[in-house]
Amino acid sequence: MDQKNKARLKHLSKTTIPRYLFRGWCALSGGGAAGLNTVDGVCPHAFNRGRGHKNVYNLTYDQLHTMAVSHYGGGLLPETELSSWAASISVALSYARREPSSHLAILDTKVLGSSVKVWHAPQLLDWGPHEYLAHGPIGGDGYKAVPVTALEAAGLRALGEDPKEYEYLLRDEQAGRHSPPAKLEVSGPDVIFGACKQVAELYGRAFAMPVALALLAWVPRDWYCYDEPSAEDKAVITRGLTPLATPQDWTESVAILVDDRVDTGGYLDVRRLMKLMQVLADRNHGKGVRQREMRERKRALGEAERNREQVENLREGAHNQKPNLEGKGGKGVKHEGERGSGRTRAGNGSLRGQRRVEKGDEKKDEESNVANGGCNGVSKPSGEGKKDEAKRNANPEPKAKAKNNALKEIDRNAARKKDPETPKKAKNDKQARDKQARDKTVGDEAPKLPPGKATKSAQKPKNARRKR
């Protein structure tokens, strides 16, 4: 084949062909030739007789074109190396329902690899929009066929047209340019999803999701917006088809991700299927996943911020709350002997007081003691405090004396802080004063003697104690 046509056909086969194609066949398909259609694969006539080309590009473009024209028209010569497929499941079923031996097969164009080439019929013939032409034998993991009787037993009739009422002869070129008639279903989503999954599971795990989506898009569903599906629509389909999973490699297929890359040929069910595959691939494996992760992350951060604010508000409220000094057993007394403990004792119970953190509390406590008459850190109940205050006002002398004592005590405490040796000096001074006072007392009490006479103790020499 010449390079120009070869490059064009390669590009078309890689970028414009749907990921999955369907084929309806029975014992009479292709003239009833043995080995053409089986549950294991599809083998075109030329390959079935050992005369096919393994590489389609070994043919000239004219040879390929002539073969395609003969195959499409049902001719016997030249022997065809092609097989017919459809992107529309309704088109495939229109062929499969003619005989009890009918099967519905599905083809994964990616799994087949480079050994099989597929083109849309208009790319070779300029007509036949309903048909795709595949070159080469088809089988293996990329192929699966299931009897139509098994599909109907699983609920196929609940998903689309009744096979007895639906006959559509696509061999007529004029009819092939238009969508086959479709009926709006009246069943709810739960019934539709259940039937889709039951039918799709007959094809195995690899083909279950594409078959289910093709059945879902077979006829329009009045509860789903195909052209512009909302996030809710996508979520409904994902949940409804669970446990069927969307293949991750759909994000690698240009035909799935790029709009209008596949020529639907005017078939609305194909258009709906392409859109379903695109939105689910994006939602479950593409940009939709990142968007949901960002939304979940923002929601989690917002919730954490709200929880933090609530905790801060609770702490602030507890800090601003005034301590209750009234205990269960009686009036509470706040003991300030232990610095910073803020403990409050009250009868049989105790309440935690407010902790002091300001500097200079000790000086304030001393001044408060002076004002309260020298009470050492003990706050008396209000009634007793008023009585004491009345007594002090009646007799101002004890009040002044207590004030002087308190001021002296404050000076002594300040001196201790400035000079650690001050307590020791004060002790020595006190001992000296006490000795002088005793000597003075003894001197005053001793009997007076006439001049010139002294006591024996006075006549003793100064060093008498040392001689002993």
| Torsion sign, CA atoms 127, 128, 129, 132 | negative
**Residue 20 DSSP SS3:** strand
Q: Is residue 196 part of a domain?
A: yes
Both tokens of 321, joined, read 């709350």
Q: Is residue 266 part of a domain?
A: yes
Orientation angle between helical segments 422-445 and 396-418, nearest 10 degrees: 130
Provide the total of helices (H) and of strands (E) in the chain, helices listed first: 20, 11
Among the three residues 262, 289, 316, which one is the final residue of a domain in this structure?
289
* CA angle (23 as vertex; 19, 25 as ends), nearest 5: 165
N-terminal to C-terminal alpha carbon distance within the chain: 145
Q: Is residue 438 part of a domain?
A: no
Q: State whether 389 and 241 are in the same domain.
A: no
* pLDDT number for residue 323: 55
* pLDDT number for residue 441: 63
* pLDDT number for residue 311: 77
Neighbour tally for 94: CB within 10 Å: 21
Q: Is residue 331 part of a domain?
A: no
- Nearest to 442, CA basis, from 457, 464, 428, 462: 457
Q: State whether 239 and 379 are in the same domain.
A: no
Among the three residues 242, 265, 289, which one is the final residue of a domain in this structure?
289
* pLDDT number for residue 211: 94
* pLDDT number for residue 171: 37
Q: State whether 257 and 382 are in the same domain.
A: no
Q: State whether 86 and 187 are in the same domain.
A: yes
Q: State whether 71 and 190 are in the same domain.
A: yes
Q: Is residue 355 part of a domain?
A: no
* Contact (CB, 8 A) for 235 and 242: no
Q: Is residue 92 part of a domain?
A: yes
- Nearest to 417, CA basis, from 363, 375, 368: 363
* pLDDT number for residue 68: 93
Looking up tokens 């902790």 gives 355
* Contact (CB, 8 A) for 83 and 48: no
Phi, psi of 325 (to 5 degrees): -90, 0
Kindly report the pTM of this predicted structure.
0.58
In whole angstroms, give the CA distance from residue 468 to residue 183. 141
Among the three residues 289, 307, 324, which one is the final residue of a domain in this structure?
289
Q: State whether 281 and 387 are in the same domain.
A: no
Q: How is residue 335 annotated by DSSP? A: B
Q: State whether 285 and 383 are in the same domain.
A: no
DSSP states along 255-321: HHHSTT-S--TT-HHHHHHHHHHHHHHHHHHSHHHHHHHHHHHHHHHHHHHHHHHHHHHHHHHHHHS
Q: State whether 167 and 19 are in the same domain.
A: yes
Q: State whether 263 and 378 are in the same domain.
A: no
* pLDDT number for residue 447: 53
For residue 243, cis peptide bond before it (omega within 30 degrees of 0): yes
The parent domain of residue 395 ranges over 374-415
Which residues neighbour 46 within 8 Å (Cβ) at sequence distance 6 or greater?
A: 52, 53, 78, 79, 80, 81
Q: How is residue 380 annotated by DSSP? A: P
Q: State whether 122 and 266 are in the same domain.
A: yes
Q: State whether 283 and 394 are in the same domain.
A: no
Residue type, position 8, single letter = R
Give the count of domains, the chain: 2
In whole angstroms, give the CA distance from residue 419 to residue 269. 101
Both tokens of 327, joined, read 């205990």
Looking up tokens 């192929």 gives 143
Q: Is residue 383 part of a domain?
A: yes
**Mean pLDDT of each 10-residue bin along the chain, 468 residues long:** 92 91 85 76 88 90 93 86 93 80 92 87 90 93 93 85 42 42 57 90 93 89 73 82 84 77 86 88 68 61 76 74 50 44 42 45 52 47 54 61 76 68 67 76 55 49 49
Instruction: Report residue 394 CA to chain centroid gap.
Output: 78
In whole angstroms, give the CA distance from residue 286 to residue 257. 10
**Residue 60 DSSP SS3:** coil
